[in-house]
Chains A and B, each alone.
Chain A
Amino acid sequence: MISADIIQIIIYFTLLVALAVPLGLYMHSVFEGKQRWLKPIEGILYKIIGTDPEKEQRWTKYALCVLGFNLIGFLLLYAIMRLQHILPFNPADMGALSPDLAFNTAVSFTTNTNWQAYGGESTMSYFIQMMGLTVQNFVSAATGIAVAVAVIRGFVRKQMDTLGNFWVDLVRCTLYILLPLSFVAALFLVAQGVPQNLDPYATATTLEGAQQTIAQGPAASQIAIKQLGTNGGGFFSINSAHPYENPTPLSNLLQMLYILLIPVAFCFMYGRMAKDMRQGIAIFGAMAIIFVAAFSGTYLAEKAGNPLIADEISQMDGNMEGKETRFGVVNSTLWGVATTAASNGSVNSMHDSYTPLGGMIMLFLIMTGEVVFGGVGAGFYGMLLYVVLTVFLAGLMVGRTPEYLGKKIEGREVKLAVLAMLSMPVGILGLGCLSAVLPIGLESMQDQGPHGLSELLYAYSSATGNNGSAFAGYGAGTFYQNTMLGICMLLGRYAFIIPMLAVAGSLVAKKQTPPTSGTFPTHTTLFLGLLIGVILIVGGLTFFPVLALGPIAEHMAMLKGTTF
């Protein structure tokens, strides 16, 4: 049993790296403009937006284009959700969404969060799923990737003033990376049993004579990009735990690979862009070490099972509440850690019903800013922020001006990095704690005792971290929560993107000095250790007090046999 689990983990990792390395190199060629097999479509899109693909933008222009594009996308999505009842492809006759739910959902999908305060099959028509949500699945992912590529250019270019052209990066990412990979995955998923149709919901008469309405829809095409773009918003309410959304162990393996594929590929693309693969490998190493440690912890916690029922019930495969038989504990926890390490947020088991410590590790991964591989693009520029902080702290220790890739890291960059870093604590500890004291916020807690606090923390961490998964017992579908969590999502996305682009804009103009004997190398195990330390200490210490009140207190209570 255990050995079969270990083999599955090894297979997953081997395949992941084997696919991510060539993809990283391919992505490098895409953003260098070397892939041109869809040139005519590219040309049409550039003509419509009115951009000259050869002309690059400074960081301010780049950021304005990101904001403008996301704003229009938000308004469009909001509008069609409010008008759902009069739009086509609506065989189940879904009504218009309420203003607060439409606001929350539109923010959620344009910020690549895919927090869902609704159940897909009971709320959204096929029109919204395809023309609204699937579209944002693509372009919000492409936005994150484009921003990350621009930020990397800031680090690796010498004495320039531009970071690239947002429209060109966006179009190339969608056409050459996201669409082809999604297409292949969608067909694979249908072969495994994921529905792809525009049929009305099926009505079945069961063997015992009851009536069962079975939801249908164009699911596979949306699920493919939901995973690839670390979006995570399920076609069906219960996401990839739904046997239609994820029917077999093979569909599960593919989806888990797609969650981390682009984030891992980013490390190798970065190595190529920096013309020093060791830099990319060092970052990959730091991410992989934290990932394996987090997975081991969650896996062992779930495998140990539920101590409260251990006297009577045989728990051969551990804690199965909220988990599906076909995946078992190993594939449930591997997914859980992958989806919170990346800002994916899709789930194949219910995190709310994990053991307190198993759930805490996933919560912690979100709180650190999802830099362990992280969301497409977002994870990598988040990691570069930690790199800036690490070289700064290392520089303080030895009393030298910190350098990274030959560029001096100075006051402006560090201030901006810390500003970006503040978005997580402000969202989780600021707005989250407001909801922990206001009566209107407290209504959403489902569970009594410390687990109720864990639910709240998870919701605010997930929203601010643009993750989108949930301790789903938390009643987030209220006017108050829709608004507050919507604000958290905006904060977590744009209060991070803008300072990071500013860091890049400041770095891109600097000259690159060749390394001397006094340079602190950033590809060694020493640096790797420091980087991990900074992530754990900066992330961990900020949130340790609330974790002690939530999951840690719950764990202690559980060991004593207390229920709430």
Chain B
Amino acid sequence: MIGKTFRILAFTLTMTILTGLVYPLAVTGIAQTLFPNRSAGSLIEKDGKVIGSSLIAQNFERPEYFHPRPSAAGTGYEADNSGASNLGLTSKVLNDSYVQRTAAQKEMNGNVAPPADMISASGSGLDPHISPEAADYQAPRIARERNISLESVQSMIKDHTQGRSFGILGAPRVNVLELNLALDTMKKTTLNQ
């Protein structure tokens, strides 16, 4: 009985080394060689400093930036504390927050009602994307705040719209951080000219 227990323990430890050490470390080694940036979390650097990850939403509140979807990750956009509202559709708390967010969006965006994804919290709280409709919805505000033409903002949204994979899979979307970075770069190039 005791002998058998020790044998099972030794067997479990061997399986641990195989599946818990050799396997993940082999994957790590190969992945870091083949995909150095992606295995390290797709971090974006600007002037040598990490400014975020292209896969992770960060908060934008200033009117001259595109805003991401509402977040329930921690106090909002906490990338070490992913989370959702987890409220049912008949929850008063959820419906009150819908009313508030709709009002806030209308105030910022010329009294137009927002599309659904701009008021509903994402699954992860870190959704880096908004729908193309939600980007178009914010375009007039961006144009006004940055003092650039609506057409240039719209064409920029178009450039940053990722279609479905192979034209079929997933949903069309716009990466908010990448779009905002492009906006900042555009401003600089215009100034330099």
Contacts and interface: CB of A to CB of B under 8 A. Distances in A.
Judge: A and B partners, yes or no: yes
A134 interface: yes
A90 to B, nearest CB: 14
Given A313-B115, A473-B87, A48 B19 contact: no
B27 A221 contact: yes
Contacts of B121: 321-322
A201 B23 CA distance: 22
Interface in B1-55: 4-5, 7-16, 18-21, 23-24, 26-28, 30-32, 34-35, 38-43, 49-53, 55
Contact of A447 (B53, B91, B122): B91
A198 B40 CA distance: 9
Contact of B92 (A225, A305, A306, A564): A564
B16 A446 contact: no
Interface residues of A, number: 124
Nearest to A238: B82
B87 A472 contact: no
Interface string B65-84: 10001000100011111111
Contacts of A322: 84-86, 120-123
A48 B168 contact: no
B82 A236 contact: yes
Contacts of B138: none
Interface stretch (A148-156, A202-210, A412-420, A429-437): A202-210
Nearest to B11: A49
A89 B114 CA distance: 45
A127 to B, nearest CB: 9
Contact of A562 (B65, B90, B127): B90
A428 interface: no
Contacts of B114: 313
A130 B21 contact: yes
Interface string A129-141: 0111011011100
B91 A213 contact: no
Interface in A214-247: 214-216, 218, 220-222, 225, 236-238, 241-244, 247
A326 to B, nearest CB: 5
A18 to B, nearest CB: 17
Contact of B55 (A121, A244, A472): A244
Given A220-B31, A221-B27, A214 B90 contact: no
Contact of B117 (A222, A320, A446, A450): A320
B133 A316 contact: yes
A196 B126 contact: no
A449 B89 CA distance: 11
A135 B19 contact: yes
Nearest to B184: A207
Contact of A68 (B8, B34, B171): B8
B169 interface: yes
Given A210-B59, A214-B41, A349-B123, A321 B31 contact: no
B83 A207 contact: no
A139 B19 contact: yes
A194 B77 CA distance: 19
Contacts of B92: 448, 563-564
Interface in B106-162: 113-117, 119-131, 133
Contacts, number: 376
A208 B88 contact: no
Contact of A222 (B24, B124, B181): B24
Contacts of B113: 312-314
A521 interface: no
B164 interface: yes
Contacts of B28: 196-198, 218, 221
A206 B126 CA distance: 14
Contacts of B5: 68, 72
Given A138-B15, A190-B35, A317 B90 contact: no
Given A48-B14, A191-B38, A214-B79, A331 B126 contact: no
A363 B36 CA distance: 41
Contact of B40 (A191, A197, A242): A197
B79 A309 contact: no
A103 B176 CA distance: 41
A308 B97 CA distance: 13
Given A50-B7, A195-B41, A447-B87, A121 B58 contact: no
Contacts of A309: 95, 98, 102, 116, 119
Interface string A35-62: 0000001001100111000000000000
A429 B19 CA distance: 37
Given A447-B87, A447-B88, A196 B32 contact: yes
Contacts of A93: none
A325 interface: yes
B10 A207 contact: no
A161 interface: no
- List 6 tightest A-B contacts by C-beta distance, closest first: A249-B170, A241-B123, A328-B171, A473-B86, A451-B88, A238-B82
9 contacts: A72-B9, A135-B19, A203-B50, A206-B58, A208-B62, A213-B80, A214-B52, A325-B171, A326-B129
Given A8-B168, A242-B124, 20 more contacts: A4-B164, A41-B18, A134-B20, A187-B30, A190-B27, A197-B28, A202-B53, A204-B43, A208-B59, A208-B61, A242-B126, A244-B53, A249-B165, A319-B116, A321-B87, A347-B123, A353-B84, A353-B88, A353-B94, A450-B90
Interface of A: 4, 7-8, 11, 41, 44-45, 48-50, 68-69, 72-73, 76, 92, 119, 121-122, 130-132, 134-135, 137-139, 167, 174, 179, 182-183, 186-187, 190-199, 201-208, 210, 212-216, 218, 220-222, 225, 236-238, 241-244, 247-250, 252-253, 305-306, 308-309, 312-317, 319-328, 331-332, 347-350, 352-353, 355-356, 359, 446-451, 454-455, 471-473, 554, 557-558, 562-564
